Amino acid sequence: MKKAFTLIEIMIVVAIIALLAVIAIPNLLRSRISAQESAAAAAMHTIVSGEVRYRATHPTYISLSGLASENPPYIDSKLGSGARQGYVYTMYNPDASKFYVIATPEGVG
């Protein structure tokens, strides 16, 4: 006589796997969001550092694309395009003495 799993046993295993997935998926999503937020904070720090280094030798601040196109570049070209790792970076230069950088999640606003 062959040994096999019964339908009840298979249904119990599937239910346990589904329960574990229901518990794990929200935690994975939160971890991903947290990682993207940390990456956005690091990218903003890179932008600010690049602006400060640029301003040390020039009379004004420069755009993101300008920071990326300098020779040598102050930031990488992906960050200079304004989008990286799920965030869109917008820089505002109201005058030569200050600048603002805003990171917005992609698909928001």
User: Is residue 31, in this structure, part of any structural domain at all?
Assistant: yes
Q: How far apart are CA 46 and CA 52, in angstroms?
A: 10
Query: Is residue 87 classed as helix, strand or coil in its secondary structure?
Result: strand
The domain of 40 spans 8-105
Token digits of residue 93: 């230069």
Q: Where is 95: in which H helix or E strand?
A: strand 87-95
Give the side-chain half-sphere CA count within 13 A for 31. 5
User: Is residue 57, in this structure, part of any structural domain at all?
Assistant: yes
pLDDT at residue 85, rounded to an integer: 85
User: Is residue 21, in this structure, part of any structural domain at all?
Assistant: yes
User: Is residue 1, in this structure, part of any structural domain at all?
Assistant: no
Average pLDDT, the chain: 89
Per-residue pLDDT tens digits for 50-72: 999 999 988 888 889 999 999 89
User: Is residue 2, in this structure, part of any structural domain at all?
Assistant: no
pLDDT at residue 7, rounded to an integer: 92
User: Is residue 22, in this structure, part of any structural domain at all?
Assistant: yes
pTM, to two decimals: 0.75
Query: Are the C-beta atoms of residues 74 and 67 closer than 8 Å to each other?
Result: yes
| DSSP secondary structure of 2-68 | -----HHHHHHHHHHHHHHHHHHHHHHHHHHHHHHHHHHHHHHHHHHHHHHHHHTTSSS---HHHHH
Query: Confidence class of residue 1 from pLDDT cuts 50, 70 and 90?
Result: low
User: Is residue 87, in this structure, part of any structural domain at all?
Assistant: yes
- Total domains in the fold of the chain: 1
Per-residue pLDDT tens digits for 77-101: 999 998 888 899 998 877 778 889 9
pLDDT surpasses 70 at 109: no
User: Is residue 76, in this structure, part of any structural domain at all?
Assistant: yes
